[in-house]
Amino acid sequence: MNTLQRLLVLALVLFVGTGVVFAGNTYVGVKKCMACHKVPSLGGLAYSVWEKTPHAKAFEVLKTKAADDIAKGKGLTKPAAESPECLKCHVTGQGTAVKEEGVTCEACHGAASGYLMLHNKKTPEDKAKAVAAGLMIGDDAKKACEGCHNSGSPTFKGFKFAEMWPKIEHTGPAKK
């Protein structure tokens, strides 16, 4: 990569950091992610890991009497499954995605319309393009976790990312 290309990538990354470039990304839904992320050779087994976690059933939790009792105790006038205050952490995109999918890949990795076709390419440049197009990884994903797993949650009992990550950890495609 020549100097000009590096400067352009840096400029793009700086724009992305402000949210300007990928602010218009939309949520594509877990089925689009599953297409590759359920096949080890294509995208790893991230989907298979996710579907066994509480994140996959996060919306279902809101349909329980216990959730409605918590919502009522917080002064909410709607059932938990209809309250924006609950939906913001129990579904991806605060309800702009398919609620029934719960907390999906895009809750941690960002709305995927901009990076969907880029993020699984093989070169570092392609990965950089995916990040520039809105893919969140590493510390960004940790920050996404803490957006819901915090003292603002009525059932918060503390959150230790390093302890919780192994429960949802997922890898990319198998290396050849």
CATH number for 164: 1.10.1130.10
- Cα–Cα distances (Å) from 3 to 8, 119, 155, in that order, read 9, 24, 50
The string of pLDDT tens digits covering residues 86-130 is 999 999 987 667 789 999 999 888 899 999 888 776 778 888 899
Q: Residue 100's domain spans which residues? A: 23-168
Side-chain-side CA neighbours of 165 within 13 Å: the count stands at 13
Regions in the chain scoring below 50 on pLDDT: 3-21, 176
Listed in sequence order, the residues at least 6 apart from 33 whose beta carbon sits closer than 8 Å to its beta carbon are 43, 46, 47, 104, 105, 106, 112
Residue 152 within a domain: yes
Residue 85 within a domain: yes
By percentage, how much of the chain surpasses pLDDT 90? 38
Listed in sequence order, the residues at least 6 apart from 84 whose beta carbon sits closer than 8 Å to its beta carbon are 94, 95
Residue 15 within a domain: no
Residue 160 within a domain: yes
Look at residue 144 in the predicted model and tell me its pLDDT. 81
pTM score of the predicted model = 0.76
Number of domains in the chain: 1
- Cα–Cα distances (Å) from 47 to 53, 56, 83, 146, 147, in that order, read 10, 10, 27, 21, 22
Look at residue 3 in the predicted model and tell me its pLDDT. 45
Residue 1 within a domain: no
Look at residue 137 in the predicted model and tell me its pLDDT. 82
Residue 159 within a domain: yes
Residue 8 within a domain: no
Look at residue 61 in the predicted model and tell me its pLDDT. 96
Residue 68 within a domain: yes
